[in-house]
Amino acid sequence: MTVGLGPFLALAAVLFCIGLYGALSKKSAVMVLMSLELMTNAVNINLVALSRFRDPVGMTGQFFAAFVMVVAAAEIGLGLALVLALYRRTRTIELDRLDRLKG
């Protein structure tokens, strides 16, 4: 029995929705970064699944997924550096308490 494209797209949609909910509802900056990472992983699943079922010989989706992973790693590194800088300055990582960034 082979798995079709539908379950992969459904899994990616569920992961993306969970990540979007986490990014919009969490107060901790670290949890928002983790939610963003979950959303990029959902995009990677879509890229690889669509590449596999549209063009089984080519590896275009895998190359794009690898590029997205590199960008996500850089984003997480920069995001954690920003969270550490904000924590040193304000002694909190809750996004609701960061009102000093306003003009």
Structure confidence by residue, pLDDT tens digits, 39-85:
999 999 999 999 999 888 888 889 999 999 999 999 999 989 988 98
Provide CB contacts within 8 A for 50, sequence distance 6+.
5, 61
The residue among 25 and 91 whose pLDDT is bigger is 25
Closest CA to 93 of 102, 80, 103: 80
Task: Name the CATH architecture for the domain at 5-95.
Answer: Orthogonal Bundle (1.10)
Residue 103 has pLDDT above 80, yes or no: no
Whole-number pLDDT of residue 93: 80
Q: Chain-wide mean pLDDT for the chain?
A: 89
Spatial distance between the Cα atoms of 88 and 103, rounded to a whole number of angstroms: 20
What's the whole-model pTM score? Answer: 0.84
Residue 47 CB: number of other CB atoms within 10 A? 20
Structural domain spans, the chain: 5-95
Q: Which two tokens stand for residue 94?
A: 């809750």
